[in-house]
Amino acid sequence: MIPRIIARLDIKNSNLVKGIHLEGFRVIGDPMEFALSYYNQGADEIMFQDVVASLYERNQLFELITHVAKNIFIPITVGGGIRSLDDIQRILHSGADKVSINTQAIRDPNFIYEAAKTFGSSTISLNIETIKNESGDYLVYSESGREETGLELVNWINKVQDLGAGELIITSVDNEGTGKGFDLDLMNLVNDNSFVPVIAHGGGGNPKHIFELLKECQLDGVIVASMIHYDAIISTDLSPKEEWGNTSFLNNPSNLITHSGSLQSIKKILHKGGIDVR
């Protein structure tokens, strides 16, 4: 198994944004430019997440995906606001290869079965947002980590796999956007209870974090966002406009995820450490 390095782009309206714990989004730049840059750097896949889809009860990325798919020839996953089989059909018709489902699967678990039966399990990813409670148990959340579902993580994993989910994207809300590293206990727990591909998301701040994760856990992929976004801003011409208010943030020495690493540096470190990547 060769793990995939997946670039995630959170989209709000027409902008690439990034937050911490799935909230407090800052505008970063033009998602088209960043997606093309990551494709040229060697990303294995790209994931687009509409972070305001729940607010509008629909995914608004159809036009973006149509344009991106004409210039990027790696798998594309799209998530956010997917409520029906028609939504999935439209996203796939726009040029995406997979969809990521969360809230609708919690509302109606049978939706997973119907989606997998209609489009194939390999097309259906489950994005599972989880938070660790005071007792040390991992619970499932929805609506970008804001809504409790009453579901326990392992029970939910078992259920969605049985219903036909072809891939699990595990989002640690506690670590997401912080740059403090991945929750290795969480990923080992998921690994021990999964028979479909597992993708880790949330906490990567530098290439060493990804190396530690893949050494510790046998995963099918890792999602990166903050660490490559800010590296791209600093190292390329994808600079934010002054009015977006990112300059002071990028120059803050306490920011764990600035000057952190490109996709090339990530893969170089993994290769040196004996982890085979594309």
Active site residues: 10, 129
Contact 51, 10 (CB under 8 A): yes
User: Residue 147: which H helix or E strand, with range?
Assistant: strand 147-152
Contact 268, 275 (CB under 8 A): no
Contact 29, 69 (CB under 8 A): no
Give how far Cα 195 sits from Cα of 9, 87, 219, Å. Answer: 27, 27, 11
Contact 1, 218 (CB under 8 A): yes
Both tokens of 198, joined, read 């597992």
Q: Is 140 exposed, middle or buried (CB count within 10 Å of its CB: 0-12, 13-18, 19+)?
A: buried
Both tokens of 89, joined, read 């059909």
Q: Which amino acid is at 205?
A: G
Phi, then psi, of 64 in degrees rounded to 5 = -60, -45
